[in-house]
């Protein structure tokens, strides 16, 4: 591999490290992201227990990824707003509120996916437990 390509490859690999560092820092500083991490563990556990289909796993994975992405973007927006507008400004507050609203909307949509995926098999299991 020519030296120029090797340098670019190393840069590309290093960018993954920066991305993981950003996720790690957000997990350490953002309580909402830690909540989403716990919810992710619960969703994966429920999916395994209920033995959901591959299609349902795909829906759950997309929902989890979308919520995490929304939360990370919200964190980035809040951080940037705090940098450029350390004092209160109505537009800064509006930007933060809209970003938080995006997370809320995505979390609600993921909740609907969770109900649609887990509702029927969970109901079946609960009825089976009740009748035994």
Question: Residues within the annotated binding site for ATP?
Answer: 18, 30, 78, 96-97
Residues 82, 17 contacting (CB under 8 angstroms) = no
CB atoms within 10 A of CB 100: 16
- How many whole angstroms separate alpha carbon 83 and alpha carbon 34? 23
As annotated, the binding site for a divalent metal cation includes 30, 78
Residues 37, 27 contacting (CB under 8 angstroms) = yes
Tell me which residue has tokens 């997309």.
62
Strands, E assignment, 12-119: none
Active site residues: 71
As annotated, the binding site includes 18, 30, 49-52, 71, 78, 96-97
Burial class (CB in 10 A: 0-12, 13-18, 19+), 128: exposed
């Amino acid at each position: 591999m020519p030296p120029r390509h090797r340098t670019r490859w190393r840069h590309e690999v290093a960018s993954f490290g920066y991305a993981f560092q950003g996720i790690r820092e957000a997990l350490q500083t953002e309580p909402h992201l830690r909540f989403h991490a716990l919810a992710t563990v619960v969703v994966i556990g429920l999916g395994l227990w209920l033995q959901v289909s591959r299609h349902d796993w795909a829906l759950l994975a997309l929902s989890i990824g979308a919520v995490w992405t929304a939360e990370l973007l919200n964190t980035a927006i809040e951080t940037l707003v705090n940098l450029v507008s350390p004092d209160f400004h109505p537009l800064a507050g509006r930007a933060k509120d809209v970003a938080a609203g995006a997370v809320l909307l995505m979390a609600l949509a993921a909740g609907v996916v969770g109900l649609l995926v887990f509702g029927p098999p969970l109901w079946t299991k609960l009825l089976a437990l009740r009748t035994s």
